[in-house]
Structure 1
C-alpha cells in the first residue's frame, strides 16, 4: 500500500523544515510526496529558491493523503491563516466515508526544532 504525504505550502516556506522530511519519506520509505499551494502558483522559499507546487489545494481530497505537512513561514505571523488552510484543518463532513482522518504536522519557522501535530 502506497502512502501519500502532502506538503502544503504558503509563500516563503522555511526550507529547512520540509527538506529532510520529504527527502527521507520518498527515498527511504517509498512515500509519494505531493507539493501543493493554495493556487498552485510558484512560491519563493525563505532561502530564495523558487518552488513550483504540483497541485492546488482545492484539487486535493483531505482524506486522500496519509499525512499533511504545513511548513512554517513568516507569513503565519503577519496575517491569519488563509481560509483554504483553515478549511483543510476542519473535520471531514459526516457524508465522508468512514475512515480515520489523516494526520497533520504544522511547523513553525520561528522555532525550527519544534512542530505541532494536530
Structure 2
C-alpha cells in the first residue's frame, strides 16, 4: 500500500524502526534508544506505542464516521466481518447516543413555517 521513494514497498518493521520510533523519541513519547551488544539501536516501547496502534486508530475513526463493519473488514483485510466486529465493537458509537441524537434532531430542530397554508413543518 505504501512505497518508499525508490518505489519499494514499505515493510512495517523497517518503517517502525526508521521513522515511527524516532518520531516518538522526538515527540518525547518514548526514551531515546539504547544500544545492544551488536551496537544496534533498541527502543523501549510497549504495545501502546507500536505502529499497530495506527490501525486501531484508523478503525475507530472509520466506525465513528459511520463506515459499516462489513466495509471496515474489507479495508482492514479481514476475511470475516464477525472478527472485525469482535475486535472493534467497543469502539462503535453507542446505540443510546445515536437514539438520543435522532430524537434531539427531530424535537429541537428549528420549526419552519409555510406561509399561506397556516401550517408548521
Fold agreement, TM-score > 0.5: no
TM-score for both structures, normalised by structure 2: 0.21
Q: Greater relative contact order (Cα 8 A, min sep 6): structure 1 or 2?
A: 1
Question: Rg bigger for which structure?
Answer: 2
TM-score for both structures, normalised by structure 1: 0.21
Give the strand-richer structure, 1 or 2: 1
Give the helix-richer structure, 1 or 2: 2
